[in-house]
Chain A
Amino acid sequence: MRPMAAFDLRWVLPDPTRERAIDALGMSAQADRIADSLLPGLSVLTVRARYFTFLCWALERTQGVPNARRAVHRLEAELAIAEARRHGANGATECPAVVGRGNARSYLVDHEGAAPARPERLYKHTALSRYAPAMRALGVLGRGHSEVQPSTRRLASAYRGANARGVACLGEMTSRERTLVRQALGLDWRVTGEALGAAARRRRATYDLVSRLPWTDAGAAAVLERYSPRPRVHDGVSRLLHMAFVWEALSCGLSLVFREILRRRDMAAVRRGLRRARSAGARRPSLVDVAQVSEDAETDPLPGAVALARAALRRGPEDLGLEPEACALGRLVVNGGRLEDALTSLVNRHVIAKPEEPWMRMRGDRVEILAPQKRVQDFRVGPRSYRLDAFHQLLVDVGLVS
């Protein structure tokens, strides 16, 4: 009898187009387009440079092994365990963004330091799934069956060499590893002209500008805030950062109003609050402070929301090429349109963004919450990072900024 064909049994993960829980108003697509222009190929998840060399090493090492993906998962989970042991409770500050380390640490604490028999079961969302798209875009990984290629082997060899020299922590890199990752990112200045691809040129331009800025704990929000005035020098990156500021001001303004609808569950109360906010002429909160405005139970967030949206609309978002429907909605909410229409349009935008699972529906002036309570409570309003935070950490790792 011939042997049976084998395949893995798998559960279905929720579809991300249904799942984008945070993007209640469908504002992320525009932000993604700006981020793609600023830092093509990277993502908010590609935070640690050494994962590029580590994963190349892991992929090379597991080539030809049955179920290679699981073997890579095991290797990266072993790394997470080693990191959890190395940094203990201080991991988040000493060596941030190690995939699976939180779960690894919990396991070690619960089992008196003993490692699990199947480390790959500690967590499901692997570092490989987070980094592989960027690795492909940067050309250090091929596609499909031939994903390990010469550039993969070079990075793998650098990791192997570093490991042999006892450089084990994800936050430490040898100079060879750093050089290779810089080259992959397009930040090797020996490469110029046509040899540098279009995407690498964009990343380099973003680096040129961002590396000159003082980096604070506020991260990307502070950078965007610097670009709130229309830039005098109109180079591509300045314009993109200005666009990002305008979009975030509009997005945060509308999201704060939407959050108030969820919180108060009474459209009449939100209308009254918005009417007051329209005439109050409050000062615009900085993007750095938006999260605080959103969280502070003592403060009415609507004046800040109106000020943010007005600041965005004063800067001519349509002329910048930002999504006109959202701009029109912003005008309706803050500039004297009928408030009933404005709030209905805001709720409609939410329903269009989440057609299968809207979080709420209106029953006259009452708001009926349909989403689980936890999702509504967890809905935070804050500016997006446009991949700048992740990029900054990569630059720190490869020694280009301190």
Chain B
Amino acid sequence: MTSGGLVSTRWVEPIEEFVRTHGRETPRWAVVFTYEIELDRVARVLMPALSRRGRQFRTVILADAGPLERALASFPRTMPGAVNFHPVRMRGRGIFHPKLVLLRAGRQARVAFGSANLTSGGMGGNLELWTHSEDPKVVAALADVVRRMARGDDRGVSIDPAAQRALLRATLGMEARPADDVWTSLDGPFSRTLRRTSGTCVGRPLVISPLYASADGMRAARAAIPARVIDLYTSLPTIVPRARVFAYDPPHSADSADGDAQAMPGTLHAKAYVLRGVGGKHVAWVGSANFTAPALTMEAARGGNFELLVRTPVADDELVGLMEDLTLAFHVSAADRPPSVPEERMPPPRATVLACELVGAGAAMRLRVFTTMRSGRVVLSRNEARANVTVRRGVGSLSGPVLRRLLEGLDLSIAQSIVLHQLIGRSRVPVVVNVPLVPAEDDDGEVVLDTLVDELLGRIRVVQPAEDEESSPDDAVADPDDESRVDVERRLDEVLHQGELDRLAVKTALLARLARRAAHAGTGRDAVLEECAKALVRAAPNHLAPMIRASLLRGGGQ
């Protein structure tokens, strides 16, 4: 952008700033929703920002299954950091389209959202709107969206159980409640929300969106916006009923005499719905929803997309700034007919495997395979090795020598996610295998407990390959400069070779302390304590359960 107009910021800046400011707090989680994904951007931009000074964030990335499947084809040998990838499948022709980053470090949280995918286009290759907030109301509303997905409340959305566990754990202890300022297509179509909230709107609403709709689609999308005339700022010259259309035609920096001018991106991808109000009370909805019928008029449970928009008041000078940028980059459309438009939707996924997770360690290691089919058989392969997996009730399992052959040569000591292939006919379709960030309910009690302790301490424990079964505290990567944490780890080391009860006693006291740091007093902290109690009770002999609960409530209470 040239001088004037809105502020510009790098995509990763809100993340870097949050990590810099709050990175010492634990537990550390990052939840990312995106439609498209480029793994190179994850490895080179996102994960370095989330691993600053060794303070690694447990990172859960949910992407639409179609684009993720394509991205996995270029999966690097090693993906840095503690990251799990989870495909999302929507009902019908809907796509998983929100763009959201939820960061959580102890009691601190930040959300970043807008139009930008986790791709080079999203990171400045396209014209994108991307903003962030620590407002408790917005954070709580978006935490609620994450938690609803995790609980599987929304019938239009399918994710694997490891994703559900990770999303629940990432928001554990956080306040989560819906708010009027956050809309998702889980709640119903945006057109309904817009009609309900645009009562005091004056003048022409301003719509910014790339053009993905056909002529009929545009008519349907236009009908979703309750105004006599709208100003549509879009990517191509077109005509839309009851709309003044402006097409994106940005100047190039080379054409500018302004020495500080930056090149404007060549592609429009930003989406915003700005409603002018009386007395400067303007509002803007920014997020993922394009000016198309599926985005604006359909809800997710009925085959629509999963879309996300967040509302903010817009000050007069901010609106002036936005208009300056739009005036610079758009020109009145001279089209007399709608153009043929590109489709944003990428091909749907081919794999019937939704995702896999690798659980257990050493000889007990096994692969859980989650599929979209109820029962049947899938064939997984890696290099020359193949394995048949029988699926019952949507889940298959693989272990023993067959699994070892399949994983041979992989360095599991550093990986949190790897790629296998599903054989479909003659095609090899990549499927993701996560080493889950949160163990399953039926995992070994001590593993569940240790994972929780690590998480609350901010440590990352790595998977042990089969030939190296002895787990050691050195395998966990911890925050290098936190003295209190070093002290805690020393205590854990000290009890490592003592009796089971001593270990439990130390961990109980530790969890009570850590729970206080993880959440504010009240229902949030109670939820963390409850999770701690569950993990301890599962790891402890039965007769100790009442004592553990009492100890936790005494130590962690308000």
Interface residues of A (CB under 8 A from B): 2-19, 70, 100, 102-103, 106, 118, 121-125, 143-145, 355-356, 372, 374
Contacts A12-B116, A15-B120 given; does A124 touch B260 at CB 8 Å: yes
Q: Are A13 and B9 in contact (CB under 8 A)?
A: yes
Contacts of B135 in A (CB 8 A): 5-7
Q: Are A14 and B265 in contact (CB under 8 A)?
A: yes
Contacts of B123 in A (CB 8 A): 12, 14-15, 18
Q: Are A103 and B259 in contact (CB under 8 A)?
A: yes
* Bound Cα distance from A11 to B253, whole angstroms: 17
Contacts of A15 in B (CB 8 A): 10-12, 41, 45, 120, 123-125
Contacts A15-B10, A16-B10 given; does A5 touch B138 at CB 8 Å: yes
Q: Are B260 and A103 in contact (CB under 8 A)?
A: yes
Asked whether B340 is an interface residue with its Cβ less than 8 Å from the other chain, the reply is no
Q: Are A7 and B133 in contact (CB under 8 A)?
A: yes
* Bound Cα distance from A228 to B7, whole angstroms: 45
Contacts of B1 in A (CB 8 A): 11, 124
Q: Which of B307-315, B381-389, B392-400 makes up part of the contact surface?
A: B307-315
Q: Are B11 and A12 in contact (CB under 8 A)?
A: yes
* Bound Cα distance from A223 to B116, whole angstroms: 45
Write 21 A-B pairs (CB below 8 A) sorted by A numbering. A3-B313, A4-B181, A4-B313, A7-B135, A8-B6, A9-B131, A9-B286, A9-B312, A10-B9, A10-B114, A11-B7, A11-B9, A11-B127, A11-B130, A12-B123, A13-B10, A13-B124, A102-B260, A121-B4, A143-B21, A372-B254
Q: Are B311 and A11 in contact (CB under 8 A)?
A: no
Asked whether B331 is an interface residue with its Cβ less than 8 Å from the other chain, the reply is no
* Bound Cα distance from A355 to B9, whole angstroms: 23
Contacts A13-B124, A374-B254 given; does A144 touch B20 at CB 8 Å: yes
Asked whether B413 is an interface residue with its Cβ less than 8 Å from the other chain, the reply is no
Q: Are A12 and B259 in contact (CB under 8 A)?
A: no
| Contact string against A for B residues 231-263, beta-carbon threshold 8 Å, 1 for contact and 0 otherwise | 000000000000000000000111001111010
Closest residue of A by beta carbon distance from B38: A356
- Beyond A11-B270, A121-B5, A143-B20, 15 additional contacts (C-beta under 8 Å) are A4-B283, A7-B132, A8-B7, A9-B6, A11-B127, A12-B11, A12-B126, A13-B262, A15-B10, A18-B120, A118-B4, A125-B260, A144-B17, A145-B21, A355-B40
* Bound Cα distance from A4 to B284, whole angstroms: 11
Contacts A102-B260, A121-B3, A145-B21 given; does A12 touch B272 at CB 8 Å: no
| Contact string against A for B residues 106-146, beta-carbon threshold 8 Å, 1 for contact and 0 otherwise | 00000000101000101111111111110101100000000
Q: Which of B213-221, B317-325, B465-473, B549-557 makes up part of the contact surface?
A: B317-325
* Bound Cα distance from A18 to B265, whole angstroms: 13
Asked whether B44 is an interface residue with its Cβ less than 8 Å from the other chain, the reply is yes
The majority secondary structure among interface residues of chain B is mixed
Asked whether B513 is an interface residue with its Cβ less than 8 Å from the other chain, the reply is no
Least Cβ–Cβ distance between B276 and chain A, in angstroms = 14
> Which of B122, B130, B257, B272 has the most CB atoms of chain A within a 10 A radius of its CB?
B130
Q: Are B130 and A10 in contact (CB under 8 A)?
A: yes
Of the candidates A124, A144, A355, A356, which one forms a contact with B22 in the assembled complex, judged by CB atoms under 8 Å apart?
A144
Contacts of B4 in A (CB 8 A): 118, 121
* Bound Cα distance from A31 to B249, whole angstroms: 38
Contacts of A18 in B (CB 8 A): 120, 123-125
Q: Are A11 and B325 in contact (CB under 8 A)?
A: yes
Interface residues of B (CB under 8 A from A): 1, 3-13, 17, 20-22, 40-41, 44-45, 114, 116, 120, 122-133, 135, 137-138, 179, 181, 252-254, 257-260, 262, 265, 270, 272, 283-284, 286, 311-314, 317-318, 321-322, 325
Least Cβ–Cβ distance between A10 and chain B, in angstroms = 5
Closest residue of A by beta carbon distance from B130: A12
Closest residue of A by beta carbon distance from B320: A118
* Bound Cα distance from A2 to B272, whole angstroms: 23
Q: Are B311 and A4 in contact (CB under 8 A)?
A: yes
Contacts of A70 in B (CB 8 A): 7
Contacts of A4 in B (CB 8 A): 181, 283, 311-313
Contacts of B322 in A (CB 8 A): 9
Contacts A5-B312, A9-B312, A124-B1 given; does A102 touch B8 at CB 8 Å: no
Least Cβ–Cβ distance between A52 and chain B, in angstroms = 20
Contacts of B129 in A (CB 8 A): 9-12
Contacts of A124 in B (CB 8 A): 1, 3, 7-8, 260, 262
* Bound Cα distance from A18 to B4, whole angstroms: 25
Closest residue of B by beta carbon distance from A378: B254
User: Which are the 9 A-B pairs with shortest beta-carbon distances?
Assistant: A14-B124, A144-B21, A5-B135, A15-B123, A12-B128, A7-B133, A121-B4, A374-B254, A13-B8
Least Cβ–Cβ distance between A115 and chain B, in angstroms = 14
Q: Are A9 and B314 in contact (CB under 8 A)?
A: yes
Q: Are B124 and A9 in contact (CB under 8 A)?
A: no
Contacts A6-B313, A124-B3, A374-B254 given; does A102 touch B259 at CB 8 Å: yes
* Bound Cα distance from A102 to B135, whole angstroms: 38
Closest residue of A by beta carbon distance from B127: A11
Least Cβ–Cβ distance between A226 and chain B, in angstroms = 33
Contacts of B252 in A (CB 8 A): 372
* Bound Cα distance from A122 to B260, whole angstroms: 9
Of the candidates B45, B137, B317, which one forms a contact with A5 in the assembled complex, judged by CB atoms under 8 Å apart?
B137
Of the candidates A13, A14, A123, which one forms a contact with B260 in the assembled complex, judged by CB atoms under 8 Å apart?
A123
Closest residue of B by beta carbon distance from A355: B40
* Bound Cα distance from A123 to B7, whole angstroms: 10
* Bound Cα distance from A102 to B258, whole angstroms: 9
Q: Are A10 and B21 in contact (CB under 8 A)?
A: no
Contacts of B262 in A (CB 8 A): 13-14, 124
Contacts of A13 in B (CB 8 A): 8-11, 13, 124, 262
Closest residue of A by beta carbon distance from B321: A121
Least Cβ–Cβ distance between A123 and chain B, in angstroms = 5
Contacts of A355 in B (CB 8 A): 40
* Bound Cα distance from A371 to B116, whole angstroms: 23
* Bound Cα distance from A4 to B7, whole angstroms: 21
* Bound Cα distance from A56 to B470, whole angstroms: 53
Q: Are A10 and B6 in contact (CB under 8 A)?
A: yes
* Bound Cα distance from A319 to B13, whole angstroms: 37
Q: Are B130 and A122 in contact (CB under 8 A)?
A: no
Of the candidates A6, A10, A122, which one forms a contact with B8 in the assembled complex, judged by CB atoms under 8 Å apart?
A10
* Bound Cα distance from A100 to B122, whole angstroms: 28
Contacts of A16 in B (CB 8 A): 10
Least Cβ–Cβ distance between B113 and chain A, in angstroms = 9
Q: Are B258 and A103 in contact (CB under 8 A)?
A: yes
* Bound Cα distance from A356 to B21, whole angstroms: 31
Q: Are B133 and A10 in contact (CB under 8 A)?
A: no
* Bound Cα distance from A2 to B132, whole angstroms: 20
Contacts A4-B311, A5-B312, A374-B254 given; does A10 touch B7 at CB 8 Å: yes
* Bound Cα distance from A372 to B264, whole angstroms: 13
Contacts of A14 in B (CB 8 A): 10, 123-125, 262, 265
> Which of B137, B260, B283, B284 has the most CB atoms of chain A within a 10 A radius of its CB?
B260
Q: Are A9 and B284 in contact (CB under 8 A)?
A: yes
* Bound Cα distance from A70 to B189, whole angstroms: 36
Contacts A4-B311, A12-B124, A18-B123 given; does A118 touch B130 at CB 8 Å: no
Least Cβ–Cβ distance between B409 and chain A, in angstroms = 24
Least Cβ–Cβ distance between A68 and chain B, in angstroms = 13
Q: Are B6 and A12 in contact (CB under 8 A)?
A: no
> Which of A11, A103, A121 has the most CB atoms of chain B within a 10 A radius of its CB?
A11
Closest residue of B by beta carbon distance from A99: B260
Q: Are B9 and A12 in contact (CB under 8 A)?
A: yes
Contacts of A118 in B (CB 8 A): 4, 317
Q: Are A8 and B265 in contact (CB under 8 A)?
A: no
Q: Are A11 and B6 in contact (CB under 8 A)?
A: yes
Least Cβ–Cβ distance between B25 and chain A, in angstroms = 12
Q: Are B5 and A17 in contact (CB under 8 A)?
A: no
Least Cβ–Cβ distance between B306 and chain A, in angstroms = 22
Contacts of B260 in A (CB 8 A): 100, 102-103, 123-125
Q: Are A122 and B12 in contact (CB under 8 A)?
A: no
